[in-house]
Amino acid sequence: DIQMTQSPSSLSASVGDRVTITCRASQSINSYLNWYQQKPGKAPKVLIHAASSLQSGVPSRFSGSGSGTDFTLTISSLQPEDFATYYCQQSFSSSFTFGQGTRLEIK
């Protein structure tokens, strides 16, 4: 199975900061990479698919990049509602593996 590794596992930041979360695949997944946001007690919400395509309704401060094995999610200017856990997921193989998550906390 393809393994997905996120870094960091947790991150403290302030409102207005620019933050970047990294996701690395154990083998090339082309651009078949999704990013999800999950808030406590809620279901995940898809932010980005195909590594860099923003889902409808997602603020433009979110962006994604990468291909092959290395990917990033960037939030250009953190807002209070962005403090959550973020997961990457590959859909290159039918194991649909998720990363372990990155918890974004308020500094």
Residues in contact with another protein by CB under 8 A are 1, 31-32, 34, 36, 38, 43-46, 49-50, 53, 55, 87, 89, 91, 94-101
Closer by beta carbon to another protein, 48 or else 75: 48
Least distance in angstroms from the C-beta of 16 to another protein: 28
> In angstroms, how far is the first alpha carbon of the chain from the final one?
36
Closer by beta carbon to another protein, 26 or else 95: 95
Contact 86, 101 (CB under 8 A): yes
Number of continuous H segments (helices) and E segments (strands) in the chain? 0, 10
Least distance in angstroms from the C-beta of 99 to another protein: 7
Closer by beta carbon to another protein, 49 or else 78: 49
DSSP 99: P
Peptide linkage before 8 cis (omega within 30 of 0): yes
